Amino acid sequence: MRGAVESGMARRISASLFRHLMNLWPPYRGAGIRVRRIASDWTAVRVELRAGLFNRNYLGTHFGGSLFAMTDPFHVLMLLHVLGDDYLVWDLSSAIEYLKPGRGTVGADIRLEAGDVAAIRRDAAAGGRVVREFGVEIRDGEGELVATIRKQLYVRLKKRARPAAAAA
């Protein structure tokens, strides 16, 4: 299958193909959200939101929901690909703080640091749940901070990969 890579037993979509599909996805397309780049190793994503006639609020600035939506799925998706098929990854909670009105094109760089991934693997090795918080900054075209987002994720080895399951 072109664009997919093998990861254990499950097929995973390539970062490049996934980027193209996300840009066609109606909620993103309609909101003016564009995924500009996904690193081939899934450790970095660049996403932008441009202002348009149909995605502004009454005051002419970006809808807060669109600002949140532009970053929402990426930490989970990135961790799923980086950690592999032995891990469960879920959103636990999210919060957004609006710092100034978003006008024009705004963007966010979402990253997974190698140290964070290593710590998650280490902490999950015993089979328990791991909760990690990640942050994202949304900036305008001048580089000014528009909003910050905090995401709390749940990570755990799947039952079949937990130490007790391996021993049984």
Phi, psi of 6 (to 5 degrees): -85, 130
What was the pLDDT predicted at 123? 96
Quote the pTM value: 0.87
User: What separation in angstroms does the CA of 7 have from each of 19, 61, 100, 105, 128?
Assistant: 19, 42, 42, 36, 23
CATH of domain 4-167: 3.10.129.10
The residue count for the chain: 168
Q: What is the residue extent of each domain of the chain?
A: 4-167
Tens of pLDDT, residues 58-71: 888 998 999 999 99
State how far the Cα of 90 lies from the Cα of 139, in Å rounded to an integer: 26
State how far the Cα of 35 lies from the Cα of 42, in Å rounded to an integer: 13
Q: Which two tokens stand for residue 51?
A: 């202002």
User: What separation in angstroms does the CA of 99 have from each of 65, 96, 140, 148?
Assistant: 14, 9, 11, 8
Tens of pLDDT, residues 104-161: 999 999 999 999 999 999 999 999 999 999 999 999 999 999 999 999 999 999 999 8
Residue 27 C-beta-side C-alpha neighbours within 13 Å: 10
What was the pLDDT predicted at 47? 98
State how far the Cα of 39 lies from the Cα of 57, in Å rounded to an integer: 32
